[in-house]
Amino acid sequence: MSKLQLIATAPMGLEAVVARELNELGYETTVENGRVLFSGDYIDICRCNLWLRTSDRVLVKMGQFPAKTFDELFEGVKAIAWEDWIPEHGEFPVEGRSHKSQLTSVPACQGIVKKAVVEKLKQSYRTEWFQEDGPRYVIEVILLNDIALITLDTTGPALHKRGYRRVATEAPLKETMAAALIQLSRWNGHRPLYDPCCGSGTLLIEAAMIAWNIAPGLRRSFPSEHWPVIPPRLWDEAREEAFDAVRDDYPLQLTGSDIDPLAIEYAEAAAKSAGFAGEITFKVSAAAKARPEGEYGCIITNPPYGERISNDKEVEKLTRQFGEMMLYLPTWSFFAISPYKEFEQYYGRKATKRRKLYNGRIECQYYQYLGPLPPRSQ
């Protein structure tokens, strides 16, 4: 069969990070706004759902065509070989978005797409009614500048839902963003890592998974595991490959603290669920009292803002404390994501690098203060 056209969706600002992950997995990529395109086979649907740390979803690109009218949308969707994917009893809801297009009514577009898929499947299965009580196939129509992109979602619940976090603190950092912050830093598993505002521990757990090369999707399931078109042996093969790739043969130097005892309780429960009980140290402590141990370590943190802090004065105080703390850690590097434009002023110096990211809908900067790299022997 010909190669499938696949899409890894990316949070705004993280397209290059997702592309780098795919490149490291062996795929050639094309980067667009909000997504990274690549080619693969059925096995690659399995592998990418298991391995991608910073993407939200893995989609199959079913078709793309001009659609200025409902007739064009209907005929374009109907021309797609849906019978190759959706069995007679498959459930196929339709989701949609429209931007800068003549077809502005998303519900109407969803209805047209649904009708076109039904008409196509009627021809294949010789039936007038579909029970839709089988495997789930979420179809999405995205209209942009009068071009319709039709996709099939292989992931289900977004990839940030790893399965280890049962409860979370207010305004938690998504697992995908936490993994991106780690990957954008210079940290590796042989260096100490400290998070003085650890909340429910997401940054540290994601760091542990990266250090030990644990595929983030190993603890969860995906709707495409139940699709007849993807043989179960391919999922077994992908999971076996992921299990074989784990390298947990060295100790981790991961520490987190938070002023909220309940947050530490949540963090310890999440670490235990993820398989890192005893590997990550958590303690109740104010950020100002953080005392990282070791040399050439990294502080990576998502300090409080918005819902998590009462006023800007507290932000200023905390950021100044970070700057003072780093004066006593000359070999360490410091990384923080924050929406506050005065962060560098409060911290006491300009960041070595800055990168615009979106934490949810909040525009932030990832402030990076790079210390010396460890000697090659470390």
> How far is CA 253 from its chain centroid?
24
pLDDT value of residue 166: 79
Q: Are 333 and 358 in contact (CB under 8 A)?
A: no
Residue range(s) in the chain whose domain bears CATH number 3.40.50.150: 175-217+247-369
- Convert the chain into a string of H (helix), E (strand) and C (coil): CCCEEEEEECCCCCHHHHHHHHHHCCCCCEEECCEEEEEECHHHHHHHHHHCCCCCCEEEEEEEEECCCHHHHHHHHHCCCHHHCCCCCCECCEEEEEECCCCCCHHHHHHHHHHHHHHHHHHHHCCCCCCCCCCECEEEEEEECCEEEEEEECCCCCCCCCCCCCCCCCCCCCHHHHHHHHHHCCCCCCCCEEECCCCCCHHHHHHHHHHCCCCCCCCCCCHHHHCCCCCHHHHHHHHHHHHHHCCCCCCCCEEEEECCHHHHHHHHHHHHHCCCCCCEEEEECCHHHCCCCCCCCEEEECCCCHHHCCCHHHHHHHHHHHHHHHHCCCCCEEEEEECCCCHHHHHCCCCCEEEEEEECCEEEEEEEECCCCCCCCC
Quickly tell me which residue has 């784990």 as its tokens.
246
State the distance between the two ends of the chain, measured CA to CA, in whole angstroms.
47
pLDDT value of residue 168: 66
pLDDT value of residue 171: 61
**Other C-beta atoms lying within 10 Å of the C-beta of residue 332:** 22
What fold, for 175-217+247-369?
A: Rossmann fold (3.40.50)
* Class of the CATH domain delimited by 4-153: alpha beta
pLDDT value of residue 96: 98
| Tens place of pLDDT per residue across the chain (378 aa) | 579 999 999 999 999 999 999 999 999 999 999 999 999 999 999 999 999 999 999 999 999 999 999 999 999 999 999 999 999 999 999 999 999 999 999 999 999 999 999 999 999 999 999 999 999 999 999 999 999 999 999 999 999 999 998 776 666 799 999 999 999 999 999 999 999 999 999 999 999 999 999 999 999 999 999 999 999 999 999 999 999 999 999 999 999 999 999 999 999 999 999 999 999 999 999 998 998 999 999 999 999 886 555 578 888 999 999 999 999 999 999 999 999 999 999 999 999 999 999 998 899 999 999 999 999 865
Spatial CB neighbours of 275, under 8 Å, sequence gap ≥ 6:
214
Which pLDDT tens digit goes with each residue over 167-204? 766 667 999 999 999 999 999 999 999 999 999 999 99
Residue range(s) in the chain whose domain bears CATH number 3.30.2130.30: 4-153
pLDDT value of residue 311: 74
Residues 3, 181: Cα–Cα separation, whole Å = 32
Which pLDDT tens digit goes with each residue over 32-91? 999 999 999 999 999 999 999 999 999 999 999 999 999 999 999 999 999 999 999 999
- The β-bridge relationship of strands 298-301 and 333-338 is parallel
Q: Are 190 and 252 in contact (CB under 8 A)?
A: no
**Other C-beta atoms lying within 10 Å of the C-beta of residue 186:** 14
pLDDT value of residue 178: 98
